[in-house]
Amino acid sequence: MTPIIIDINCLIVDIPTIRPHKMSVATMGSQSMVIVRIMSSDDVEGIGEATTIAGLNYGGESPESIKTNIETYFRPLLIGQPANQIAALRRLIAKNIKDNHFARSAIETALYDARAKRLGVSVADLFGGRIHDAISVAWTLASGETAVDVAEAQKMLDLRRHNIFKLKIGRREPKEDLSYIESIRKAVGDDISLRVDLNQGWSETQAVRYLQPLADLGVELVEQPIHFKNLDGMARLTALGRVPIMADESLRGPQDGFVLAGKHCANVFAIKIEQAGGLQPARDLMAIAEAADISLYGGTMLEGSVSTIAAAHLFSTMPRLEWGTEMFGPLLLTDDILTEPLDYSDFTLKLPAGPGLGVTLDDDKLAFYARKP
């Protein structure tokens, strides 16, 4: 008998970060995650997550709007529908609900988790099966204090947790950022990969002026240096060839990917399942990048463990993920909501072996951190 969706529940979970996380757009002291649970008539539950960066500082969805829209629009639309027909459900949502990529991603993740559980396979198997059992993970240095970031980088190397570092810059004057990067480079040595993320923090003229100094300091990749709508500017910076340019905020789904590829706006695409609108749209976006010979990077919205491992399942199926991933979100939090935390070791994130996402929610932790009405 075909299982039917009988209920969809969601709650907001607030967990403090281990330190302030400073970006050009906001400073985070905690992370708010919307946890989605879809129950079907066969008693199989699927779980998903929607997580934004600093509420509305980053984009047009917030934890509060995601929860409200799922309860008000997604839930009545999906209850009573066949749970296994994910493509049909995706089309139904697209016909009736516009945008809301983060909410869509949480719903889609829960549907794939449940579908894989019914089949006794992993979510990765639904996308062709994993090629890699572990994926490399960069750590983002974003305390805003050079000495703190130097010590943090050295600790991560000693723990064999991360040997790739992304630096958040763009809040200060460019020359101050260059001095900061130089200090990090001297501390970690020439063999360690350094990338920078500006979160649109520079003007195009600043980027033209400072891309070469970044390259001279051994920065390997520059993420979204200018405003996400300045696609012609992104194309001009990419054409300079001084350092690879990665699109992030400019990339909000397959349609954006098609436009950016056609305009040669980036050397690398940051793939984020939530920003793309779900696992399948993210896979479509990766196919566009592959066809256009654009390199791939597994990006994060600083998600918790559920969305992080969902993305990891998808990334594990890719033959080439040239720039690795930054799926470190759960490590930025002071606590976890899983019964068994994800395995970060030997500079990688290991994929769990169980069916579905391979993770189990800790109901006591959820109750403790759930936002009260």
Contact 104, 256 (CB under 8 A): no
Provide DSSP, 270-328. Answer: EE-HHHHTSHHHHHHHHHHHHHTT-EEEE---S--HHHHHHHHHHHTT-S--TT-B---
Cβ-based neighbours of 340, under 8 Å, separated by 6 or more: 359, 360
166 is catalytic: no
80 — alpha (psi -120 to 50), left (phi > 0) or beta? Answer: left
Give dist(CA 321, CA 301) in Å, integer. Answer: 18
Q: What's 244-284 look like in SS3?
A: CEEECCCCCCHHHHHHHHHHCCCCEEEECHHHHCCHHHHHH
Torsion angles phi and psi, residue 44, rounded to 5: -90, 130
CB-neighbour burial class of residue 224 (10 A; exposed 0-12, middle 13-18, buried 19+)? buried
Alpha-carbon distance of 47 to 112, in angstroms, equals: 9
Count the Cβ atoms, other than its own, within 10 Å of residue 166: 21
Which residue is catalytic, options 168, 263, 272, 372? 168
Q: Helix (H, G, I), strand (E, B), or coil: what is residue 145?
A: coil
DSSP calls for 41-76: TTS-EEEEEEE-STTTTTSS--HHHHHHHIIIIIHH
Beta bridge partners of 210: none
To which H or E segment does residue 223 belong?
A: strand 219-223
The catalytic site residues sit at 168
